[in-house]
Structure 1
Amino acid sequence: MDVNLQFWSTEGKSFFQRFLHWADILDPTVLLNSNETIEKSRLLLQTSAQTLQEPLQDKKVKEAWKLSLSSVHPGTGEIIPLVFRPPAFLPLATPLIFASLLPHRGAKQALIWQFLFHAYTAGFTIANGNATAKAEETALPQKLPQKQLLLYTGAVSYSACMGAFPYFVMTQHRLSGPMQTFFRKILPIPLLASLSVFNVMIVRGTEYENGIEVMDKNGKVIGVSQKAGLKAVQDTALSRAALFGTAVIIPESLLYFLNR
């Protein structure tokens, strides 16, 4: 069993534990570490005599855990590409999401920003997805399988076009004031949440199609489950929609009440 999986099996049993660990793991400063430093941290964890029952008592070991959990995929043991590591998600996705929702002069500009946003989130989704039942379709392969590449391209293209649709309508048709408000400020929020769900469900479709490996508490693979794959993808899709929807609707609501 990978050391990251061992950690979550002992330290991440409750929601509060996972919340505290993720708050620590998402520190963007860990992105400054090189792959060599990450490998050394992994080696320290693998050779440390300290038990997993008390993995966070020693400061050096604690930092090693933080670096490993934030940089290495637990299903494959491979180092995640820098821009797709969890600590990089909010710093990179936040400006992209707001840039994609800003007022644009034309549909073409909106389409470009929508494409960049959905391309990044889809890449992040693939890089951090579960390893599927087929060995050649792990979450971080050296080369994307043809099917997954087609799913990625299709999902990103469709999401970008649909995300830019409100701007296309506004530039092609003369709309009344209320309709302008609807297409510019109201429609993009549920549309973004829906497209985020669509993006995850399509890009990680191989997980519920082929199933993902299910392990016991000792890390031994006991079978492959399509239900587990579907639940994992659905949970990710819903959390992504909630994250992006909340990130947009809160500042919009504050601006609305301040203007009043």
Structure 2
Amino acid sequence: MFENLNSPVQKLNIAPFSNLWVKRDDLIDPYISGNKWRKLKYLLQDAISKGKTHLVTFGGAYSNHLVATAAAAAKSNLRATAFVRGEAVKNEMLMLCTLFGMKLIFTERESYRDKVACFEQYFSKDDTAYFIDEGGASTQATIGCAEIITELPIQYDHIFCAAGTGTTAAGLLKGIQQNQLNTKLHVIPVLKGGDFIQDEMAKYVSVSAHLTLHTNYHFGGYAKTTPALIQFIQSFTATTGLLIDPVYTAKMFYAIIDLQKQNLINKEDKILALHTGGLLGILGMKEKFS
């Protein structure tokens, strides 16, 4: 599955940049797009090699990771179950999960915090069950994300990515180090108090001077927006033809443009932005665009 990734690098024509490019991981698949496939790739291989046929994972009611896992399981002839954080709800994302055959277990937030305990409670006697952490966070996920660096056609001065758990960022940093590049990695945490992302990355990779965190672009926190961010999305998409989402990629592109305005990055440097997909997240905020 996905032996040949459809993930081109495309140039963006947006003032004042002359060398702004985007790695279109959002084009990998409509439902297993972006970093979701990168993070699941080696987890699926590990599960299959161990004879596991039942993927068990975790996420919120609007989780792109849940949709991706459900779709990947269906394509691989595997079963899938998800612990969904919070009260029972119905929405477009969970509908897609169930269409792909995923079973949903709605879990109150206090119990959800201990994911291993949730797994053990339901599946300790299921020898076919395979634990996948929220968002796919794992060493295998960083290996998949590190491969992005080897696919790039040129060396860039700066690479930007948005971060929720830091797994994708850790993989990118690992790839930069393994290939001995001078590239600077700029990580945009999408949660308030995003300094913890560096600690999360350090679980998987040695944090180096290649890394810079920009923690002031969360717009109120995870899945939070402001009128300024919504207006930015509308303007950016209409100008570039590139669809971005309010949770991750919009905050990243806003940061790139704002950092250039502050002269913290050179508009003529070679800059690559990683489009991590997640576009289905727009469905959870559709009223903000009406």
TM-score normalized by the length of structure 1 = 0.27
Structure number with greater CO (CA < 8 Å, separation at least 6) is: 2
More strand by share: 2
Q: What TM-score, normalized to structure 2?
A: 0.25
